[in-house]
Amino acid sequence: MQIFFRALLAIYLGHLLADFVFQPPRLVSQKRSGGVRAYLIHGLAHFFATLILLAFFVRGSATMARTYFVLLALSLVHLLFDFAKIRITQRGLIPDGARAYLLDQLLHAFTVFLGAWLLSPGVSFSNVAAFIGIVRSFPAGFLLVPVIYVAVMFGGGYLIRDFTRALSEGVKRHSPEKSAEQLQNAGLYIGWLERFLVITALLLHSPASIGLILTAKSIARYPEFKSEHFAEYFLIGTLLSIAMAILGGIILVRVIFGAVRFS
């Protein structure tokens, strides 16, 4: 069971790194335009990221042929999902927004789960179902730390970006000197740092630091609050960002320390 848990977190961390860290916007644009080379680069990044992490955290996995077959299949399925999502959203069958993003990530998570199970011989489905309630008992629980950080920091940023896209377009119409793309990119990068600091503050048992983070962010944006549309965009995006970071921090505090209590 411990092998399954390690394999699951290692593969999922590799997936998150490939999707949100090793995939710059330029590569995403090339994929949207049908560039085969972009898909190849993304697939290789996914394969090698998961292979390196799995080899490091699951002893002996790098010497098994099954590992390479499973990870190759996962990478191919990953690319197939990406291709399908792009084509479906381009044809307007599903809006290119939060719903498409969440569905895509849920499908990826399912394949990660299945891949970890295939790489864990002797683990039955009943064992897999039971692990959810006993996560804290696994020594490999520390692997949840990078998973939460990457998922909340980077994955959360793209989700918030989709949620607030309509608001950013409203800001663009009322402030033509600032494009929606520039506004979203700035918010995306600030959000990465913001969520990192919030999760870290909770792990350090210092929730009061969250107030300082919000204050600093508000001061930096204060001159732009004269625009009602920007104020709404800023408030909704910030609250979503902080809420996601707090949720991720609480999960880590619960797993690492066994309780959500702050001294």
Over residues 240-250, the pLDDT tens digits come to 889 999 999 98
- Compute how many other C-beta atoms are within 10 angstroms of the C-beta atom of residue 250: 14
Output the average pLDDT for the chain. Answer: 82
The whole model's pTM is what? 0.64
Q: Answer whether residue 54 shows pLDDT above 50.
A: yes
How far apart are the C-alpha atoms of 27 and 45, rounded to whole Å? 12
pLDDT value at position 236?
85
Residue 72: pLDDT band (50, 70, 90) is: very high
Contact between 77 and 104 under an 8 Å Cβ cutoff? The reply is no
Q: Answer whether residue 85 shows pLDDT above 50.
A: yes
How far apart are the C-alpha atoms of 168 and 170, rounded to whole Å? 5
User: What would the pLDDT profile of 95-122 be if each residue is shown by its tens digit?
Assistant: 877 788 888 999 999 999 999 988 887 6
Q: Answer whether residue 152 shows pLDDT above 70.
A: yes
Angle at 239 between CA 234 and CA 244, to 5 degrees: 130
pLDDT value at position 263?
44
Q: Answer whether residue 123 shows pLDDT above 80.
A: no
pLDDT value at position 262?
43
By the 10 Å C-beta count (0-12 exposed, 13-18 middle, 19+ buried), 29 is classed as exposed
User: What would the pLDDT profile of 167-212 be if each residue is shown by its tens digit?
Assistant: 777 666 666 555 555 555 666 778 888 899 999 998 888 888 888 8
